[in-house]
């Protein structure tokens, strides 16, 4: 009897051990169709790995996620994984909250092969690396492209702009007061009064807001001839030439309604542009016009792993991170959401090849990868974004001159640099 009881207990213990599930949380800010795709990928991973349960937690928008991460870091209640921008990660690294990934990437048993690591596009690797240490893997990445109304370009006999001079010329040709009431009905171009749109022009003109030196020191470069030319061009298009509609919000609606003929935005806007234009006019995208250089900014977050989790959770989190960047999942993610695949191998999958065959212009963003620019992955960038966003809005809305705006921004950034020293 005793032997049977011991045997039964052993069987129960073995069953519990066999079916023990390691649970981890993955916080994200992907809503709508993008969130649905995240849930589909998580469900697929969980089904393939019955010993792991990834819980995808939708926190809200990016601002809500950033705030929750900072608060959770203070209370030591961070999840296993989360989406994060590079400057968020930079804030958390000094708090010893972020798991370095070098040891996992190079692990002979569970790491990435040389082929897998080399296949990640170099700009994306730069975005997840601090010094010699990798602290994240790239996730949802996009780049800026020029959206244009194909019907109008055909009607006016215009070629798609390849340079900023071309852009200005096309904007002038496409701007019209159609009913002669003294008000512009159709603007040739549109831009948002945000730092992101300013950086498109600034980097194309060979400029940058700050320069991070090898020793970590910061040089503030915003008040430069390149920045003045870039901001002046935006101002002139809006006011001097009156060929650009400007606003703070997204431009897919005025584009769909024919109020603007061109605008620059990330590829993540494609679905909104398509739905807003459907039945009204055709559209396409092209590379961001070149100025002195071709340097379209990259946007998007990475996935970080946090410390404070068990070894089992760490192993599970790493397995899921690798799953996210696998070629098949990246192809699926890109096709479903419009984001760029973060690994070149994804372009060789049957799903991507079929997608490319049906939509040849999907290679336009890919063609920009070798020339793309990235934001500095330092904590200071959060403050720089806020300062430059205010400056651009003030200048375009004529609250400050171009010179006044750049001088003000320079002093404000210098103050933030001094605070962090």
Supply the CATH classification number for the domain 2-135+300-371. 3.40.190.10
Residue 300 contacts residue 313 (beta carbons within 8 Å): no
DSSP letter for 173, please: H
More confident residue, 273 or 19: 273
pLDDT value at 113 more than 60: yes
> Virtual CA dihedral for 216, 218, 224, 227, nearest 10 degrees?
80
Query: Can you give the C-alpha Rg of the chain in angstroms?
Result: 24
Mean of all residue pLDDT scores within the chain: 94
What confidence category does residue 20 fall into, taking pLDDT thresholds of 50, 70 and 90? Answer: confident
DSSP letter for 10, please: H
Question: Which tens digits make up the pLDDT trace of 251-277?
Answer: 999 999 999 999 999 998 998 999 999
Exposure string for 249-260, b = 16+ CB within 10 A, e = fewer: eebbebbbebeb
Residue 233 contacts residue 383 (beta carbons within 8 Å): no
pLDDT at 341: 96
Domain range summary for the chain, segments of one domain joined by +: 2-135+300-371, 143-297+377-419
pLDDT value at 7 more than 90: no
313 vs 318: CA distance, rounded Å? 8
Instruction: Identify the residue whose tokens are 């750049």.
Output: 406
pLDDT value at 3 more than 70: no
CATH fold group of domain 143-297+377-419: D-Maltodextrin-Binding Protein; domain 2 (3.40.190)
pLDDT at 4: 54
Mean pLDDT to the nearest integer, 406-412: 98
pTM of the full structure: 0.89
Domains 2-135+300-371 and 143-297+377-419 belong to one CATH topology: yes
Question: Which tens digits make up the pLDDT trace of 38-85?
Answer: 999 999 999 999 999 999 999 999 999 999 999 999 999 999 999 999
In 7-136, where do the E strands start and end? 22-28, 52-58, 81-84, 129-130, 133-134
């Amino acid at each position: 009897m005793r032997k049977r009881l011991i045997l039964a207990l052993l069987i129960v213990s073995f069953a519990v051990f066999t079916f023990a599930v390691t649970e981890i949380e993955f916080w994200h800010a992907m809503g709508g169709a993008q969130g649905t795709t995240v849930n589909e990928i998580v469900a697929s991973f969980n089904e393939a790995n019955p010993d792991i349960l990834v819980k995808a937690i939708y926190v809200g928008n990016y601002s809500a996620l950033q705030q929750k991460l900072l608060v959770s870091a203070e209370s030591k209640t961070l999840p296993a994984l989360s989406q994060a921008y590079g400057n968020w990660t930079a804030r958390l690294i000094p708090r010893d909250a972020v798991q370095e990934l070098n040891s996992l990437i190079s692990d002979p048993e569970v790491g990435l092969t040389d082929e897998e690591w080399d296949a990640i596009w170099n700009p994306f690797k730069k975005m997840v690396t601090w010094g010699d240490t990798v602290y994240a893997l790239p996730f949802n990445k996009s780049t800026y492209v020029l959206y244009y109304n194909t019907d109008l370009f055909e009607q006016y006999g215009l070629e798609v702009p390849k340079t900023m001079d071309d852009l200005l010329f096309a904007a002038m040709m496409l701007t019209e007061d159609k009913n002669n009431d003294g008000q512009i009905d159709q603007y040739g171009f549109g831009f948002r009064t945000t730092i992101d749109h300013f950086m498109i022009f600034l980097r194309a003109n060979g400029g940058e807001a700050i320069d991070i030196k090898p020793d970590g020191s910061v040089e503030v470069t915003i008040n430069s001839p390149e920045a003045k030319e870039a901001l002046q061009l935006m101002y002139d298009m809006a006011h001097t030439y009156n060929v650009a509609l400007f606003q703070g919000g997204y431009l897919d609606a005025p584009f769909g309604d024919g109020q603007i003929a061109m605008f620059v935005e990330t590829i993540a806007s494609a679905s909104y542009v398509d739905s807003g234009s459907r039945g009204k006019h055709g559209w396409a995208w092209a590379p961001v016009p070149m100025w002195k250089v071709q340097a379209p900014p990259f946007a998007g977050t990475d996935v970080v792993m946090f410390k404070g989790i068990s070894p089992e959770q760490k192993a599970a989190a790493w397995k899921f991170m690798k799953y996210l960047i696998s070629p098949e999942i990246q192809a699926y993610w890109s096709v479903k959401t419009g984001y760029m695949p973060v690994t070149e191998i994804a372009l060789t999958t049957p799903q991507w090849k079929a997608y490319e065959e049906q939509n040849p212009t999907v290679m336009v963003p890919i063609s920009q990868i070798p020339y793309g620019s990235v934001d500095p992955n330092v904590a200071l960038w959060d403050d720089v974004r806020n300062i430059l966003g205010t400056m651009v809005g003030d200048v375009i809305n004529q609250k400050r001159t171009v010179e006044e705006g750049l001088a003000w921004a320079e002093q404000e950034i210098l103050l933030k640099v001094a605070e962090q020293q």
